[in-house]
Amino acid sequence: MQYIVVFIIIVLIVLIIALTVLSFYMYRTAQLERIVYQDLYFSNLPKHFGDVRIFFISDVHKRIISDQIIAKVQQQVDLVIIGGDLTERTVPFAHVEQNLAKLKNIGAPLYFVWGNNDYEVDVHELDARLLQYGVTILANTAVHLEAKQGEKMTLLGIEDITVERDRLDMALADACNVKDAFRILVSHNPKVKAQVQEEHRISLVLSGHTHGGQVRFLGYGPYKLGDTEMFNNCVYVTSNGYGTSTIPMRLTAKPETHLFTLKRGHHTSIGEKKEVQF
């Protein structure tokens, strides 16, 4: 009997140690700093825009964006897009301002779409802070970018699908006054894929929300890992996101930010991913 008790104690100690080590590893994984670089090719990208470089970051939540990441992309991109969940309940606005100031220092126009957790805070206050830092809010709206030669690119953004505030039809109506423009859609929730039709002429969709499942065991999680895929000649990006929700831990689904380079090609295709981790 005494040996059984000793055995049980040893097993419990081993389990406690293993869980402690695993928890520490998951916490450290959630704090990783990663930039995923990827070239995306489009036959309809206006040639006079040249290569268009987009820094995309989603699901920041409670994290403070690393100075290392900012330094890597500073003065290197044409657009900065925040894919929603910049904040959440309990995150102070001073924290949000710190992140906005860092993103502004990248030196490119900033764009933002609402995520489901952004609605947990005072939305009027968040709206004011975004405008204070020169961020263009895409709330079921579209903005148009124009090259010197007159070619146009349209950036559409919708509010969050989870809280049923999304109106893709309104964003498309806002975009329709500019014909033949290259179209990029930003939606926090990747479920927008079910709404996108070929006649919408959207070439690229940027999303987050899922955190890549955040904690995955043996390849399984509540959501699949973030990825870049193509469907009906449109490229869909779902990011693992930068921060975490509920618990500050990740397993397998590493945090990520993105630097996409849009290039003109003979056909729409997706280049290989390269990453910098520090």
**How far is Cα 228 from Cα 230, in angstroms, rounded to an integer?**
7
Q: What are 19-46's pLDDT values in tens digits?
A: 999 999 999 999 999 999 999 999 999 9
Q: What pLDDT is stored for residue 4 in this prediction?
A: 87
Asked if residue 176 has pLDDT above 90, the reply is no
Q: What are 243-254's pLDDT values in tens digits?
A: 999 999 999 999
Q: What value does the mean pLDDT take over residues 191-209?
A: 97
Q: What is residue 95's three-state secondary structure? A: helix
pLDDT-derived band at 212 (thresholds 50, 70, 90) equals: very high
Q: What pLDDT is stored for residue 218 in this prediction?
A: 86
Q: What pLDDT is stored for residue 60 in this prediction?
A: 98
Percentage of the chain exceeding pLDDT 90: 88
- CA distances (Å), origin 22, targets 62, 121, 222, 246: 22, 32, 19, 17
Cβ-based neighbour number of residue 48 at 10 Å: 12
pLDDT-derived band at 179 (thresholds 50, 70, 90) equals: confident
Asked if residue 2 has pLDDT above 80, the reply is no
Residue 39 Ramachandran class (φ > 0 left, ψ -120 to 50 alpha, else beta): beta
| CB 143, CB 113: distance < 8 Å | no
Q: What is residue 128's three-state secondary structure? A: helix
Q: What pLDDT is stored for residue 278 in this prediction?
A: 86
Q: Residue 261 phi/psi, 5° resolution?
A: -115, 115
Which residues contact residue 223 at a Cβ distance below 8 angstroms, ignoring those fewer than 6 apart?
A: 210, 211, 212, 213
Give the pair of three-digit tokens for residue 46.
Answer: 């206006």
| CB 115, CB 123: distance < 8 Å | no
Domain 33-277, architecture per CATH: 4-Layer Sandwich (3.60)
Q: What value does the mean pLDDT take over residues 112-125?
A: 97
**How far is Cα 16 from Cα 225, in angstroms, rounded to an integer?**
29
pLDDT-derived band at 277 (thresholds 50, 70, 90) equals: very high
pLDDT-derived band at 108 (thresholds 50, 70, 90) equals: very high
3-state secondary structure 64-114: CCCHHHHHHHCCCCCEEEECCCCCCCCCCHHHHHHHHHHHHCCCCCEEECC
- Specify the pTM: 0.94
